[in-house]
């Protein structure tokens, strides 16, 4: 099977690129995503006030007449150095398939960086999670805990707080731009956290049985290892001002790139802008 354009990732950047492809009259387009539905990693917060733009956009792109394959991942990627015909191997619930594409847009997004990646000292008890995991548990009807500490800053942290309130949970917020976590304590279950800023002589300890931790991002680009597509030391895809990678015919947009941001504030616009270069 061959396509003119493959979009890897059906999050905000991927969907905005797909919208631009439709406006330009592209026909042979395939978009894939490993999740069961489109929207990306910030989708649980679309109903929150800080994500009104994303919610409206998501509603607009629901009926685009393109082939979308969910629960589908890239398991092999062989870029053509001449940029004429790239080979991609994908895996889905229906099996394994090889496709050939002229142009590729990578918009695989990023996940929140967990406390392990930030090297926060202490034990590794249960009860420490990212906003995405916390939102998923709430959506499934689980109660998170009695003493919830929300650590982070920006619209994802703020929206997570509103989501907790909607589910009747109480919590304390610790602004990650003002305070550093200095230790996490607990054996099988989280019992407390310690934090400190420059004005405090000693860390302060706060009892907690749940810590929702949001600081930084990890781009979902590990499938690119060995492909020749350049990434920075933090695994972000290196792109120029037009979203071009170092491989001809391969582009990237959104939070998986060096042009992305932790709060996914500009993912829609980046997908639209980079798509102009693709087309």
On whether both 222 and 85 belong to a single domain, the answer is yes
155-188 burial: b if 16+ Cβ within 10 Å, else e = bbbbbbbebbeeeebebebbebeebbbbebbbee
On whether both 20 and 55 belong to a single domain, the answer is yes
On whether both 13 and 100 belong to a single domain, the answer is yes
Using 50, 70 and 90 to split pLDDT, how confident is the model at 270? very high
> In the predicted model, is pLDDT for residue 257 greater than 90?
yes
Q: Determine contact, residues 257/274, Cβ cutoff 8 Å.
A: no
> In the predicted model, is pLDDT for residue 67 greater than 80?
yes
Query: pTM, whole model, 2 decimals?
Result: 0.92
Q: Determine contact, residues 132/36, Cβ cutoff 8 Å.
A: no
SS3 19: helix
| Boundary (domain end) residue, out of 159, 179, 213 | 213
**What pLDDT was estimated at residue 138?**
95
Please tell me the distance from the alpha carbon of residue 135 to that of residue 19, in angstroms, as a whole number.
Answer: 28
Residues 199-228: what's their mean pLDDT?
Answer: 92
Please tell me the distance from the alpha carbon of residue 244 to that of residue 18, in angstroms, as a whole number.
Answer: 17
- Report DSSP letters for 164-194, one per residue: HHHTT--EEEEETTT-EEEEEEESSBEEEEE
How many domains, in total, are found in the chain? 2
DSSP label of 51? G
On whether both 128 and 177 belong to a single domain, the answer is yes
Cα angle: 79, vertex 84, 89; to 5 degrees: 40
Using 50, 70 and 90 to split pLDDT, how confident is the model at 118? confident
Please tell me the distance from the alpha carbon of residue 120 to that of residue 66, in angstroms, as a whole number.
Answer: 44
Could you tell me the two tokens for 273? 């802008």
Task: Give the residue, 262 or 90, on which the prediction is more confident.
Answer: 90
**How many CB atoms are closer than 10 A to CB 23?**
11
| CA-closest candidate to residue 119, choices 189, 213, 231, 188 | 213
Helix (H) or strand (E) holding 161: helix 155-166
| Boundary (domain end) residue, out of 213, 247, 268 | 213
Which residue segment(s) compose the domain that 70 sits in?
A: 2-111+217-278
SS3 278: helix
Residue with tokens 């090297």: 119
Using 50, 70 and 90 to split pLDDT, how confident is the model at 82? confident
On whether both 107 and 139 belong to a single domain, the answer is no
Could you tell me the two tokens for 206? 């706060």
Chain segment 171-193, per-residue pLDDT in tens:
999 999 999 999 999 999 999 99
């Amino acid at each position: 099977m061959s396509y003119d354009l493959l979009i890897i990732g059906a999050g905000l950047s991927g969907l905005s690129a797909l919208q631009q492809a439709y406006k330009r009259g592209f026909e042979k387009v395939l978009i894939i995503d490993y999740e069961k539905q489109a929207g990306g990693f910030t989708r649980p917060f679309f109903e929150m006030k800080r994500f009104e733009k994303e919610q409206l956009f998501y509603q607009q792109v629901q009926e685009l007449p393109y082939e979308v394959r969910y629960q589908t991942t890239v398991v092999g990627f062989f870029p053509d150095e001449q940029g004429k015909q790239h080979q991609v191997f994908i895996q889905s619930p229906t099996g394994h398939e090889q496709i050939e594409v002229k142009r590729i847009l990578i918009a695989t997004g990023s996940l929140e960086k967990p406390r392990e990646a930030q090297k926060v000292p202490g034990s590794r008890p249960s009860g420490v999670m990212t906003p995405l995991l916390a939102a998923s548990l709430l959506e499934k009807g689980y109660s998170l805990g009695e003493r919830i500490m929300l650590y982070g800053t920006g619209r994802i942290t703020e929206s997570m707080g509103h989501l907790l309130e909607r589910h009747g949970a109480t919590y304390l917020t610790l602004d990650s731009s003002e305070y550093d976590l200095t230790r996490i304590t607990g054996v099988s279950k989280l019992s407390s956290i310690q934090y400190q800023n420059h004005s405090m002589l000693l860390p302060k300890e706060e009892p907690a049985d749940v810590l929702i931790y949001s600081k930084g991002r990890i781009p979902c680009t590990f499938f690119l290892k060995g492909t020749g597509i350049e990434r920075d030391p933090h695994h972000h895809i290196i792109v120029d001002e037009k979203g071009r990678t170092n491989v001809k015919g391969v582009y990237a947009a959104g939070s998986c790139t060096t042009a992305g941001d932790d709060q996914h504030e500009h993912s829609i616009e980046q997908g639209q802008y980079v798509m102009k270069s693709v087309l």
